[in-house]
Amino acid sequence: MADQVVIPQPPEKQPVIAPGLTFAKVTEQISNIVLTRPTPGTWFILFGLSGFFVLLLGVAVTHLILRGIGIWGVNIPVAWGFAIVNFVWWIGIGHAGTLISAILLLLRQKWRNSINRFAEAMTLFAVMCAGLFPLLHLGRPWLFYWLFPYPNYMDIWPQFRSPLVWDVFAVSTYFTVSLLFWYVGLIPDLAAFRDRAKRLWVRRIYGALALGWRGSARHWKRYEMAYLLLAGLATPLVLSVHTVVSFDFAIAILPGWHSAIFPPYFVAGAIYSGFAMVLMLAIPLRAVYKLHDLVTMRHLDNCAKLMLATGLIVAYGYVIEGFTAWYSSDKFEWYMMYDRWFGRYSHAFAFLVATNILIPQLLWSRKIRRNVPALFFISLSVLTGMWLERFVIVVQSLHRDFLPSNWGMYTATRWDWAVFTGTIGFFVFMMLLFVRGLPMITIFEVRTLLPQAKVHGERRDVEGEPE
């Protein structure tokens, strides 16, 4: 072995944003998408298409409310079909938005600045889709307020020892805090929109939303403090939300659910699928709106790396589940694992391993991380895989419990598919409205990335520091 100390040279860094931009140019580029440039044809096509699925969602939900959840494929023993699969899938997707906006802010990862806004919007819309499922699954969704502790003439209260009640608090807190965080981030950009809008009514709307922001240094200080603290609060919150979701399973005694690895493995899986969704949104957005200066290859590359890392944690989770089942020598645990690999739903598990573990390994290659169509395809594969993971956890574990006389099968009905595709349509629909009406990139944070934003060294004609 040579004693020589080799100092690794850092590889040449790709710039976070393209050189040569000015404050005015950045502002123009982002605000003109909403204020002056004609809406691209792709937008209208997608709007129509997703609008159709929103209508489908409306029909499916109306039918459900009129007829009850018997129109779904849920039964006993599989009482938690698509509704819970989709709930966990959607809420997981939301997690990447908070990770980008809060955790990467605290870690001072400057590259987050051009993707955080639409990632946060993605969080909000994904949580909306997620929240719909448990509500509909209640059976009598119009009594949803029974979930909250409010004084009532029946003199009953929610059961606070139940993870399902924890979930209500976790998800509603998550949505509220994400909304506050998103809105606080929007205020200075709404002021820029107010000042750039040509038409009076447009100016009035943005002006009202901007709350009279004027960019005062005193305001900026409190603003940044509030933003930082909200990020600090959102960080443990986002970890807690999927932990609580995993408690819905882990606290039950069912084999395949009752596992201590669930909280970390659920959180990693959530972030994994969330980054896949960020990429699936970023890639078409930068192509359609020509945002290559602001959402650069470096962003896509970093998202892909985070996806790979969290994907490996998920793979580790699968391995440990198998190991625990074997090592516990518990007959039921081991049977559940055997059934997962070779039982009636083994095709779902095989497909899950392929899409969620094998295909994403392509991301080790730098060439593939820089190949935009490949990234798009891998993200789609991950989203499919993560959906299948939840399907396997929910359905496969439930359909073979302790007593063979309880065993059953689950098949989704067309109404299950209608609600699921309907929420995908709703998500795309909301994203399109967001892109059309609000700044999809945080303008003021991108300004701080420009080299001219730096205050240059003390001029010598200033004597001493202010007290």
Residues 260-319 interacting with other proteins (rule: CB under 8 A): none
Q: Is residue 215 a contact point for other proteins (CB under 8 A)?
A: yes
Min separation Cβ 188 and other proteins, Å: 7
Q: Is residue 207 a contact point for other proteins (CB under 8 A)?
A: yes
**Residue 343 CB neighbour total at 10 angstroms:** 17
User: If you write DSSP's letter for every residue of 78-143 in order, what string do you get?
Assistant: --S-HHHHHHHHHHHHHHHHHIIIIIHHHTT-GGGGGTHHHHHHHHHHHHHHHHHHHHHHTSSGGG
Rounded Cα–Cα distance for residues 395 and 85 (Å) = 9
Q: Is residue 106 a contact point for other proteins (CB under 8 A)?
A: no
Q: Is residue 447 a contact point for other proteins (CB under 8 A)?
A: yes
Query: What one-character DSSP code corresponds to residue 356?
Result: I
Q: Is residue 350 a contact point for other proteins (CB under 8 A)?
A: no
Judged by CB, which is closer to other proteins: 167, or 416? 167
Judged by CB, which is closer to other proteins: 222, or 331? 222
Whether the CA torsion 352, 358, 361, 363 is positive or negative: it is negative
Q: Which of 214, 329, 404, 405 binds other proteins (CB under 8 A)?
A: 214
Of 173, 182, 74, the closest CA to residue 123 belongs to 182
Q: Is the peptide bond before 77 cis (omega within 30 degrees of 0)?
A: yes
Q: Which of 181, 391, 427, 429 binds other proteins (CB under 8 A)?
A: 181
Q: Is residue 253 a contact point for other proteins (CB under 8 A)?
A: no
Instruction: State the DSSP H helix or E strand holding residue 193, giving kind and residue range, or none if neither.
Output: helix 163-196
Judged by CB, which is closer to other proteins: 174, or 420? 174
Q: Is residue 258 a contact point for other proteins (CB under 8 A)?
A: no
Per CB under 8 A, the segment of 131-139, 164-172, 260-268, 388-396 that binds other proteins is 164-172
Q: Is residue 252 a contact point for other proteins (CB under 8 A)?
A: no
The structure tokens listed for 363 are 């991301």
Q: Is residue 444 a contact point for other proteins (CB under 8 A)?
A: yes
Q: Which of 18, 45, 55, 229 binds other proteins (CB under 8 A)?
A: 229
Q: Is residue 120 a contact point for other proteins (CB under 8 A)?
A: no
CA atoms within 13 A on the CB side of 365: 10
Q: Is residue 192 a contact point for other proteins (CB under 8 A)?
A: yes
Rounded Cα–Cα distance for residues 365 and 388 (Å) = 25
Per CB under 8 A, the segment of 177-185, 254-262, 283-291, 395-403 that binds other proteins is 177-185
Q: Is residue 98 a contact point for other proteins (CB under 8 A)?
A: no
Q: Which of 142, 153, 160, 201 binds other proteins (CB under 8 A)?
A: 160
Q: Is residue 244 a contact point for other proteins (CB under 8 A)?
A: yes
Instruction: Name 317's Cβ contacts closer than 8 Å, sequence gap at least 6.
Output: 261, 264, 265, 268, 269
Per CB under 8 A, the segment of 22-30, 80-88, 260-268, 286-294 that binds other proteins is 22-30
Q: Which of 166, 266, 387, 427 binds other proteins (CB under 8 A)?
A: 166
The pair phi, psi for residue 415, each rounded to 5°, is: -70, -30
User: Under rule CB under 8 A, how many of the chain's residues touch other proteins?
Assistant: 71
Q: Is residue 145 a contact point for other proteins (CB under 8 A)?
A: no
Q: Which of 148, 220, 326, 364 binds other proteins (CB under 8 A)?
A: 220
Judged by CB, which is closer to other proteins: 230, or 276? 230
Rounded Cα–Cα distance for residues 170 and 228 (Å) = 21
End-to-end CA distance of the chain: 58
Min separation Cβ 363 and other proteins, Å: 33
Rounded Cα–Cα distance for residues 127 and 238 (Å) = 12
Per CB under 8 A, the segment of 118-126, 179-187, 287-295, 327-335 that binds other proteins is 179-187
Of 235, 248, 242, 240, the closest CA to residue 265 belongs to 242
Q: Is the peptide bond before 141 cis (omega within 30 degrees of 0)?
A: no
* Burial group, residue 13, by CB count within 10 angstroms (0-12, 13-18, 19+): exposed
Per CB under 8 A, the segment of 115-123, 229-237, 268-276, 307-315 that binds other proteins is 229-237
